[in-house]
Amino acid sequence: MIVVGIVGILAGMAAMSITGPRRSAQTNTCIANLRQLENAKQEWAFEKSMSGGDTPTMADIKPYFRFSPDCPALGSYTINAVTNKATCSITGHSL
């Protein structure tokens, strides 16, 4: 019984040490995706002579990506106007 309890405690500690780095990697990837969105948005605005108040759609900036960016934590991106930064729906995922 004692051995089973100790194994359970160790398994719980191991699971906790795995989720921390995974969450950090997801946050870092999401922030990198937001930077790519910002770069694509700026390129779109420059090429199309748009003003700072114009807001592109994902279809407008899709040609600037090899792969469409998705939040690894299953959040959703809001592109916003050219002068406003793109955002993610997950707290802590921001530029």
Mean pLDDT of 79-93: 95
3-class DSSP state for residue 19? helix
Residue-range domain boundaries for the chain: 2-88
Q: Which residues contact 36 (CB under 8 A, 6 or more apart)?
A: 65, 69
**pTM metric for this prediction:** 0.80
pLDDT digits (tens, 9 = 90+) for 11-41: 777 766 677 788 899 999 999 999 999 999 9
Structure tokens at 1: 């019984």
Q: Render pLDDT for 55-75 as a digit per residue (tens, 0 to 9).
A: 999 999 999 998 889 999 999
